[in-house]
Structure 1
Amino acid sequence: MNFDLLLENITNPALLFFLLGIIAVRLKSDLEIPKNSSKFISLYLLFSIGFKGGQELSHSHFTLDIIWSVAFGILIALIIPLYSFFILKKHFSIENSGAIAAAYGSVSAVTFVTAITFLEMQNYTFSGHMVAVMALMEAPAIIVGVILIRLFSKNDVHSTKMSSLIKHSFTNGSVLLITGSLIIGFLASDQQALGIKPFTTDMFKGFLAIFLLDMGIVSGRKLNDFFKSGWFSFFFAIIIPLINGIVVAYVSHFITDDIGNRFIFAVLASSASYIAVPAAMKIAVPKANPGIFLPMALAITFPFNITFGMPIYLSIVLCS
């Protein structure tokens, strides 16, 4: 592992703002980001990365590499919740096991955005179609999680039609915005894109830092509730994503030779959803406790990935 790379990531202002948010909560400070402002910033980040991804996609030719990348991403989103569920159900209820498995099979758009910033710091690029891959990885994991709950639950599970669940997965605000922005970016000409470049590019890192400050505050507030669920939750939230990221970082060389794309695959495999999955599970499986899977994804896996995970995954990609 490259420790210079790790040190550079730890001193990244975006990460330090995240830690500042946690510290503010522990010090019982009244520091907070207004709810409406936080929502606007999250929408901005999704819009910006989707639009830029669409622009990149418009400059690339539709190739077999894109098809393989999409198929590989969906396969990851199907396998991870499947094996995770059988590990989890030894320690949690069927409902909670399915919800946690779905969260870790799905992806985190914010982790994806942070990973792109990390890549830029290392002077690597990625292909625009990876934005589409990320968006397509949200729904399969949610569907697998719900199917597993229905198969193994002895109780009556909330009777949500599968068609309704699929629709909700794809019309979830974060998925719809990043997919829509990707399409708009693809359709826009270079001249049209240049007109909003200060908004889509120049302001991006500043908004990301403020958003991560807000994420730190939210994570800090959830840590106490999370530790009540026991140490297994803590170790799962670190070890399983780490395994997923390392395996995919290596295996991805069979799919593509692009360093940036391979790194993005590893980050997507190691991330956990704390936006789309909680929203879907609230409708499909109301018995699942968000007080367990939400802190696991947001307060443990997310900071681990942006601190230690990303340097590890990039080192493996560069060495394989």
Structure 2
Amino acid sequence: MDLVADFLSRLVTQFQSPALAFLIGGMALAAFRSQLEIPDAIYKFAVFMLLMRIGIEGGLEIRDASFAEMLLPALVTIALGCLIVLLGRFTLAYLPGVKMEDAIATAGLFGAVSASTLAAAMVILEEEDIFYEAWVPALYPFMDIPALVLAIVLANLHLAKQDGASGNGPKIWSIIKDSLRGSALSALILGLALGLLTRPEQVFEGFYDPLFRGLLSILMLIMGMEAYQRLNELRKVAHWYAVYAFAAPLTHGLIAFGLGYLLHVTTGFSPGGVVLLSVLAGSSSDISGPPTLRAAIPTANPSSYIGSSTSIGTPVAIAIGIPLYLALAQMVF
């Protein structure tokens, strides 16, 4: 009962938090057919700033952290990204009206990471003074890249088998390079490198950190507007995608919470780190994933995987997932 009460209390509080408030505000604007438009350049700038801030802070922390402390969480994160894709491959793909390549692409997007969801969780943890290792957000690519690569490989193998093709399998290194060149991971890796190899403390504290919350609110507003608009696309595909998009973020996050607890017991991984690991697993990519999957699995229907992620997956991950993991952490730790 304490868990339920704490979760409901945090859920109410979460609806008052700036991140979710702006997300809901964006959905409301779209529902009322508002003519408000935020230029794409501002969206891209906001994403760049958020990822640079996350990357620089992660790089600064990695510089002072021990390799042994990070090794096991990084390996767990890789395993989580692959596990999420395999779960979708062997559940969603076998439901009525669901095409195999569409299901795999959807699972790949849910295995990859949402920078905005991660940023929202970081803000909430900081507001509640919950400690987490600053290198935990730098685990982003350890989940994002393996999930996308595995999804693309599985989809291409399936399509090649359907066509009776042989010897034309997906080029894994090419997929990895394309993922690394994507705007999201490029910004994150640049920030990591700058934090790790240079002394960016002054520019971090004077520019990137103060703008973090304001830019996150703009990003949430844009995502809310897009989430509502994507609902129309989701109606065009099997209703099982809506069920998956609601259940998958919470299922993946709870699996990650269990593994994070084991890390806490074995390595001293912080409760805040466990919450962020759960958020990483419960999120679905909104920046790097969609263009990567569009290019690598052209036969998959974007309405299925982008509609599922944007219209349901992200709101569930932020509005329900984050307070749920915080309530669990409060009870367990």
Range of TM-score over shorter length: over 0.9
Q: Residue by residue, what CA displacement relative to the aligned partner does 1:109-133 show, whole Å, maximum 9, x if unpaired?
A: 1111111011112211221321321
Q: Residue 140 of structure 2 contacts residue 280 of structure 2 at CA under 8 Å; is this kept in 1? A: yes
Correspondences of 1:201-220 after superposition (within 5 Å)? 201-220=209-228
Find 2:326's aligned residue among 282, 305, 314.
314
Q: Which residue of 2 aligns with 1:49?
A: 54
Contact 1:85–1:101 (8 Å) recurs in 2: yes
Q: Within 5 A, what are the aligned runs for 1:149-188? A: 149-153=155-159, 154-155=162-163, 160-188=170-198
**Counterpart Cα distance in 2 of 1:47 and 1:171:** 15
In the alignment, structure 1 residue 14 sits paired with structure 2 residue 19: yes
CA distance in 1, matches of 2:198, 2:238: 50
Q: Distance in 1 between matches of 2:258 and 2:171?
A: 38
1:36, 1:316 → 2: CA distance?
38
| Cross-structure match for 2:271 | 259
Shift of 1:303: 0.8
**Which position in structure 2 is the counterpart of 1:66?**
70
Identify the match of residue 228 of structure 1 among 236, 246, 267: 236
Share of identical aligned residues, percent?
A: 27
How many angstroms apart in 2 are the aligned matches of 1:285 and 1:156?
17
* Residue 230 (structure 1) shift: 3.5
Deviates more, 1:223-232 or 1:151-160: 151-160
Deviations 1:43-76 (A, max 9, x none): 1111111112222222x33142200011010010
Matched letter for residue 237 of structure 1: A
Structure 1, 239-248 or 72-81: larger mean CA deviation: 239-248
RMSD: 1.8
1:282 aligns with 2:291: no
Map Cα deviations across residues 221-246 of structure 1 (whole Å, 9 max, x no partner). Answer: 11111123233111111112111111
Q: Distance in 2 between matches of 1:195 and 1:36?
A: 22
SS of 1:53's equivalent in the other structure is helix
Aligned twin of 2:29 = 24
Give yes or no for the alignment of 1:303 onto 2:315: yes
Q: Which residue of 296, 304, 325 maps to 1:292?
A: 304
Alpha-carbon distance between aligned partners in 2 of 1:115 and 1:24, rounded to the nearest angstrom = 24
Answer whether contact 1:246 1:316 (CA < 8 A) is retained. Answer: no
- Quote the residue 2:147 is aligned against: 141
How much has 1:87 moved relative to structure 2? Answer: 0.9
Q: Measure the CA separation in 1 of the matches of 2:259 and 2:329.
A: 9
Q: Which runs of 5+ in 2 are unaligned?
A: none
Residues 112, 264 of structure 1: 8 Å contact kept:
yes
